[in-house]
């Protein structure tokens, strides 16, 4: 990706988080003992995602999504949701995309699902996690153990992804 300066912040956390902030800086938060080589490899592995995120944030300080981006995101979400719904044996009615800040996704009792447009900025596996999470609510209207077991079946390491969203999500409020 050419040379993109990485700002490395050591903290007490136990995992490494990668983010692109609204100023277009790539920030890595890592545990103190994380070897530099490991961090570099991770950045290299996420190069596509970083590039995409950079392209998006550098378009303006307060990021608005274009109609085209919205449409593309909706198509992608629809495609992934249909894919997972058939795997999971559930059916949803309508999928909507909203520019919500408060939540990543929601599922109504009527079987409609909705996703935050901010997920555009998340890596694909995170979008899949949010989709599987909401689809699992079509069967389990709670966060019971059976709910999580279902999510985990179709989206391994679900709790790790949930944590990733918690750690990085606020940075997507652009
Ligand atoms: Zn939930």
pLDDT in tens, 60-117: 444 678 889 999 999 999 999 999 999 999 999 999 998 776 689 999 989 999 999 8
pLDDT over 90 at 148, yes or no:
yes
- Contacts of 87 by beta carbon, 8 Å cutoff, 6+ apart: 154
Q: What is the pLDDT of residues 3-46, one digit of tens each?
A: 667 888 888 888 888 888 776 778 888 998 888 888 888 888 88
- For 117-128, write each residue's pLDDT tens digit: 889 888 999 999
- Beta strand 6-11 pairing with 113-116: unpaired
CA of 38 to the centre of ligand 1 (A): 33
pLDDT at 1 over 50: no
CATH topology assigned to domain 67-172: Zincin-like (3.30.2010)
| CA 137 – ligand 1 centroid, Å | 7
Confidence (pLDDT) at 86 = 98
Ligand 1 centroid, distance to 10 Cα (angstroms) = 31
Q: How far is the CA of 95 from the centre of ligand 1 (A)?
A: 16
Q: What is the pLDDT of residue 102?
A: 66
Q: What is the pTM (predicted TM-score) of this model?
A: 0.64
CATH 3.30.2010.10 placement within the chain: 67-172
Residue 149 has what pLDDT?
Answer: 97
If one counts every other C-beta atom within 10 angstroms of the C-beta of residue 62, the result is 6
Distance 25 CA to ligand 1 centre (A): 31
CA–centroid distance, residue 79 to ligand 1 (Å): 20
Question: Separation of 70 CA from ligand 1 center, angstroms?
Answer: 23
CA of 133 to the centre of ligand 1 (A): 6
Number of Cβ within a 10 Å radius of residue 141: 11
Residue 89: which region, alpha, beta or left (left: phi > 0; alpha: psi -120 to 50)? left
**Cα–ligand 1 centroid distance for 116 (angstroms):** 14
If you measure from the C-alpha of residue 6 to the centroid of ligand 1, how many angstroms do you get, rounded to a whole number? 34
What is the whole-number distance in angstroms between the Cα of residue 111 and the centre of ligand 1?
14
Q: Where are the beta strands (DSSP E) in the chain?
A: 6-11, 17-20, 26-31, 95-98, 105-107, 113-116
Instruction: Write down the pLDDT at residue 101.
Output: 66
């Amino acid at each position: 990706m050419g040379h993109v300066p990485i700002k490395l912040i050591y903290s007490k956390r136990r995992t490494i988080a990668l983010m692109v902030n609204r100023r277009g800086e790539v920030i890595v938060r890592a545990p103190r003992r994380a070897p530099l080589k490991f961090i570099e490899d991770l950045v290299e592995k996420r190069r596509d995602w970083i590039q995409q995120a950079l392209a998006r944030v550098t378009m303006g300080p307060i990021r608005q999504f274009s109609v085209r981006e919205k449409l593309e995101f909706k198509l992608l979400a629809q495609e992934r949701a249909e894919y997972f719904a058939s795997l999971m044996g559930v059916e949803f009615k309508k999928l909507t995309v909203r520019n919500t800040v408060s939540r990543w996704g929601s599922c109504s009792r009527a079987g409609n699902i909705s996703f935050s447009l901010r997920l555009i900025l998340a890596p694909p596996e995170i979008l899949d996690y949010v989709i599987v999470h909401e689809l699992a609510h079509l069967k389990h209207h709670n966060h019971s153990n059976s709910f999580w077991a279902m999510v985990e079946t179709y989206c391994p390491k679900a709790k790790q992804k949930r944590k990733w969203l918690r750690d990085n999500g606020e940075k997507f409020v652009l």
